[in-house]
């Protein structure tokens, strides 16, 4: 079990209360055509806190939301942080079975949906019978009542008695390698992540942050620091490259967060070269490997505005940072790295037997510091395994270059063993995407009688470009050698994505391995 030092600073609820009062007349959120000030949001959070109390929620209980991005989603989560409830925001696009599992596993008292997901709420209610109360952020239906219609007196002034180590958020991992795990996040962890962002990014005077990915995951991690800086968050229900470009031009967006697939969609949009992108000051990216050739293309189009941040659900968002300055270095290899540790975060590379590896050799990224989770909900054995030796074992493989920068080579579970040699798909994908015709690529291992696993590439070509499989095989072989070069290439119009916008390699592998005895990992 990880031995965390008690973080004796403020809780995230205390910081939210201070921001609400300090920036009362500023705009906190814009969603669709609505504008909400910090003062109005304070009343909304007070109403959410009062309503949750009326519904019988008590400190330590779980509150689940299944809804698209909206101000109400943040208000309920903030009420949970202040009251000491476990806020659980599930992806609205995830399967109903995953949603039912998370609601039941977390022992939630209340589920709040929006009217676009009333059917999800009804199915959850049917599955769990009388164990759960289901409400809607809007009018609801005959079977699902309105959440906001019940509380007439906001719980004001807002106060909190939450401790830094109290669990106030619980995110569920994808569950691609078994049942999903509820990651318990303390107030201490959220404060640490928010302060990391605030301390290490060049914040503009008037912040307009565009959140076009789910608030409960990557896109939402930046809302708290933006909020604490008195900035405005513009919410989109879903990512659309054209809508993002229009928002930058019309709203004067200064910052946003993308995963690599979102960035590629922006780069390939027909309006990108003629768009006015001058308001953008920061684009934060992460969550999945990025092509260095496409990143250089993005730097040419958007300018020197990029920051890479590496983390995971168990250590939210701020483990390693590659700064804006790092993106402008003359060192051609720097863009291939994930950067250096955030302040106060200790990062080491360990072998399978938990021993440090020499500089330049590959080991597993292990993390220690106030950012790290408190464990997995009701899974002590998995918690013990993940936090063995007092370190969070991330499952990511990396090495350190001569300057101490961490270079992530791949996930442990994605590594291909072909003919006894280790092949890291990320390296092969980067090589493929250096070809001018390739928009994106995914590399997987498939069964092979001779090699055990053969390297296969699945490629999306850029609009108006052509390339043959023979051409791409020869191109990659010249760059990476015969061992790492794909043995075959499939061309597709789009790569399958997870609900978080990452390439779904489990979906790509499954057809090849489903009749094989080897476990298919995601």
Lowest mean pLDDT among 146-155, 255-264, 269-278, 374-383: 146-155
Q: State the average pLDDT over residues 459-476.
A: 92
Q: State the average pLDDT over residues 461-470.
A: 92
pLDDT band at 427 (very low <50, low <70, confident <90, very high): confident
Cβ contact 218:246 at 8 Å = no
In a domain, 296, yes or no: no
In a domain, 405, yes or no: no
Q: State the average pLDDT over residues 448-457.
A: 82
* Residue 157: Cβ within 10 Å count: 10
pLDDT band at 70 (very low <50, low <70, confident <90, very high): very high
Q: What is the DSSP letter of 394?
A: E
Query: Is residue 3 pLDDT above 60, yes or no?
Result: no
- pLDDT of amino acid 91: 86
**Tokens coding 473:** 């095989």
How far apart are alpha carbons 132 and 94 in whole angstroms?
19
pLDDT band at 310 (very low <50, low <70, confident <90, very high): very high
- pLDDT of amino acid 112: 97
Query: Is residue 4 pLDDT above 50, yes or no?
Result: no
How many percent of the chain have pLDDT more than 70? 94
- DSSP for 60-93, please give it: T-EEEEE--S-HHHHHHHHHHHHHT-EEEEE-TT
pLDDT band at 453 (very low <50, low <70, confident <90, very high): confident
| Helix 71-83 with 38-54: angle, nearest 10 deg | 60
- pLDDT of amino acid 174: 63
- pLDDT of amino acid 520: 35
pLDDT band at 516 (very low <50, low <70, confident <90, very high): low
Query: Is residue 130 pLDDT above 70, yes or no?
Result: yes
Burial of 10 (0-12, 13-18, 19+ CB in 10 A): middle
CATH of the domain at 74: 3.40.50.980
Looking at per-residue pLDDT, the higher value among 6 and 309 belongs to: 309
In a domain, 375, yes or no: no
Contacts of 445 (CB under 8 A, 6+ apart): 416, 417, 418, 423, 425, 453, 454, 455, 456, 509
Query: Is residue 380 pLDDT above 50, yes or no?
Result: yes
Q: State the average pLDDT over residues 392-412.
A: 90
Of the chain, the end-to-end C-alpha distance in Å amounts to 26
- pLDDT of amino acid 457: 92
How far apart are alpha carbons 233 and 254 in whole angstroms?
10
How far apart are alpha carbons 396 and 409 in whole angstroms?
8
Query: Is residue 518 pLDDT above 90, yes or no?
Result: no
Query: How many structural domains are present in the chain?
Result: 2
pLDDT band at 499 (very low <50, low <70, confident <90, very high): confident
Strand order from edge to edge, sheet including 110-113: 145-146, 133-136, 110-113, 62-66, 86-90, 167-172, 182-186, 375-376
In a domain, 75, yes or no: yes
Instruction: Give the residue ranges of DSSP H helices in 292-440.
Output: 292-302, 380-386, 425-432
In a domain, 476, yes or no: yes
How far apart are alpha carbons 479 and 477 in whole angstroms?
5
157 prior amide bond cis, ω within 30: yes
Cβ contact 309:270 at 8 Å = no
Considering 147, 162, 177, which residue would you say is the last residue of a domain?
Answer: 162
Summary mean pLDDT of the chain: 90
Query: Is residue 521 pLDDT above 70, yes or no?
Result: no
- pLDDT of amino acid 251: 95
Listed in order, strand segments (DSSP E) in 2-152 are 27-31, 34-37, 62-66, 86-90, 110-113, 133-136, 145-146
In a domain, 79, yes or no: yes
- pLDDT of amino acid 95: 83
Cβ contact 85:52 at 8 Å = yes
Cβ contact 460:443 at 8 Å = no
Q: Kindly report, residue by residue over 55-69, the tens digit of the pLDDT.
A: 999 999 999 999 999
In a domain, 430, yes or no: yes
Burial of 184 (0-12, 13-18, 19+ CB in 10 A): buried
CATH of the domain at 498: 3.30.300.30
Considering 146, 162, 178, which residue would you say is the last residue of a domain?
Answer: 162
How far apart are alpha carbons 431 and 489 in whole angstroms?
14
- pLDDT of amino acid 177: 47
Residue 162 phi/psi, 5-degree rounding, is: -75, 140
In a domain, 66, yes or no: yes
- pLDDT of amino acid 501: 75
pLDDT band at 5 (very low <50, low <70, confident <90, very high): very low
How far apart are alpha carbons 90 and 98 in whole angstroms?
9
Considering 130, 162, 194, which residue would you say is the last residue of a domain?
Answer: 162
Query: Is residue 175 pLDDT above 60, yes or no?
Result: no
pLDDT band at 522 (very low <50, low <70, confident <90, very high): very low
- pLDDT of amino acid 514: 65
- pLDDT of amino acid 38: 98
Residue 93: give the domain boundaries. Answer: 12-162
- pLDDT of amino acid 2: 41
- pLDDT of amino acid 178: 57
Q: What is the DSSP letter of 304?
A: S
């Amino acid at each position: 079990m990880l031995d965390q030092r008690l973080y004796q600073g403020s809780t995230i609820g205390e910081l939210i209360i201070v921001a609400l009062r300090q920036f009362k007349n500023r705009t906190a959120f814009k969603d669709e055509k609505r504008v909400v000030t910090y003062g109005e949001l304070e009343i909304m959070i007070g109403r959410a806190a009062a309503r949750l109390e009326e519904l019988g929620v008590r400190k330590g209980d779980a509150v689940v939301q299944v809804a698209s991005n909206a101000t109400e989603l943040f208000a309920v989560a903030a009420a949970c942080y202040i009251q000491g409830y476990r806020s659980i925001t599930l992806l609205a696009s995830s399967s109903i079975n995953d949603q039912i599992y998370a609601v039941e596993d977390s022992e939630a008292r209340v589920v709040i949906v929006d009217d676009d997901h009333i059917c999800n709420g009804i199915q959850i209610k049917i599955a769990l019978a009388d164990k759960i109360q289901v409400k809607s952020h809007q009018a609801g239906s005959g079977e699902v009542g309105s959440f906001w219609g019940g509380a007439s007196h906001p719980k004001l002034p807002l106060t909190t008695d939450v401790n830094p180590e109290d669990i106030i958020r619980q995110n569920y991992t994808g569950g691609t390698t078994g049942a999903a795990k509820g990651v318990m996040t303390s107030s201490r962890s959220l404060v640490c992540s928010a302060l990391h962002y605030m301390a290490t990014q060049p914040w503009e005077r008037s912040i307009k942050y565009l959140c076009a990915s789910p608030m409960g995951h990557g896109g939402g991690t930046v809302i708290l620091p933006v909020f604490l800086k008195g900035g405005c968050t513009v919410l989109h229900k879903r990512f659309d490259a054209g809508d993002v470009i229009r928002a930058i031009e019309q709203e004067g967006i200064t910052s946003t967060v993308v995963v690599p697939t979102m960035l590629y969609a922006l780069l390939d949009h027909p309006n990108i070269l003629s768009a006015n992108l001058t308001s953008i000051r920061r684009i934060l990216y992460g969550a999945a490997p990025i092509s260095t050739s496409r990143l250089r293309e993005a730097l040419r189009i958007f300018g020197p505005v990029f920051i890479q941040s590496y983390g995971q659900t168990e250590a939210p968002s701020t483990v390693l940072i590659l700064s804006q300055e790092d993106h402008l270095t003359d060192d051609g290899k720097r863009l291939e790295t994930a950067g250096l540790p955030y302040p106060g975060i200790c990062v080491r590379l360990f072998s399978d037997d938990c021993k440090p590896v020499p500089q330049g050799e590959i080991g597993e990224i292990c993390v220690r510091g106030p950012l790290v989770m408190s464990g997995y909900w009701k899974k002590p054995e998995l918690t013990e395994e993940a936090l063995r030796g007092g370190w969070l074992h991330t499952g990511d493989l990396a090495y350190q270059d001569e300057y101490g920068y961490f270079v992530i080579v791949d996930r442990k579970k994605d590594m291909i063993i072909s003919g006894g040699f280790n092949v890291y798909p990320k390296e092969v994908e980067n090589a493929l995407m250096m070809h001018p015709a390739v928009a994106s690529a995914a590399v997987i291992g498939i069964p092979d009688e001779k090699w055990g696993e053969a390297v296969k590439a699945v490629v999306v070509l850029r609009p108006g470009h052509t390339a043959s499989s023979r051409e791409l095989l020869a191109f990659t072989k010249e760059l990476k050698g015969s061992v790492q070069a794909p043995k075959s290439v499939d061309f597709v119009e789009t790569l399958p994505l997870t609900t978080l916008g990452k390439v779904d390699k489990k979906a790509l592998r499954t057809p090849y391995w489903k009749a094989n005895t080897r476990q298919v990992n995601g």
